[in-house]
Amino acid sequence: QFDNIEKNMTNIITQAWVPWYTMHKIVAGLVSIANMTDKDAKKVAGLAKEVVSDLGDWVYGRTSGWSEELHQKVLNIEFGGMNDCMYDVYLLTGNEEHAKAAHAFDQIVLYERVYKANAGDNILNNHHANTTIPKFIGALKRYLVFGEEIYFEYAKKFWDFVVNEH
């Protein structure tokens, strides 16, 4: 599925059924388990952290090999909140490669388009909410993790735009 997307085989019925969206759900679940604090769950939480760290390494290995053209192609396929969950992986592991993998899913072109939109612009037309909202939650997560104010501004503008304009 991942290979097919990278080969521009993106028909979701016959070629590639949103594998990054699925990966987001797997990673987010493992992060939740890894963050368990119940003393009886420590072993399970530790195993989940180990698995999610390995998945984070795999995601970094995959994303770090993308050309800019391929990167943009992948970002045009539904990928859920890969940025959001990978920033959570980074918080668990402290591994800078996991933060870089998260940033690979920050869709700056979309963030900037929303950020620069004027009242009345219908820039979210044909953007599926289930696809778009997690992207901006990821922008907010980047702000919370690194304090980069522009990512807060992206998320805030998205919220304001959806509530007031869309």
Please spell the DSSP secondary structure of 18-61, one letter per residue.
-HHHHHHHHHHHHHHHHT---GGGHHHHHHHHHHHHHHHHHHHH
**Contact criterion met (CB below 8 Å) for 135 and 112:** no
Quick: pLDDT tens for 42-80: 899 999 999 999 999 999 999 999 999 999 989 988 898
Please check the confidence at residue 130 and state whether its pLDDT lies above 90: no
Instruction: For 136-149, give one letter per residue: b (16+ CB within 10 A) or e.
Output: bbbbbbbbeeeeee
Compute φ and ψ for 35, nearest 5 degrees.
-90, 5
pLDDT at position 121: 84
pTM, entire model: 0.92
Measured in residues, the chain has a length of 166
Confidence at 127, pLDDT banded by 50, 70, 90: confident
Give pLDDT, residue 122: 81
Handedness of CA 8, 67, 56, 152 (dihedral sign): negative
Most distant CA pair in the chain: distance in Å? 54
Q: Which of 3-7, 38-42, 63-67 has the lowest mean pLDDT?
A: 38-42
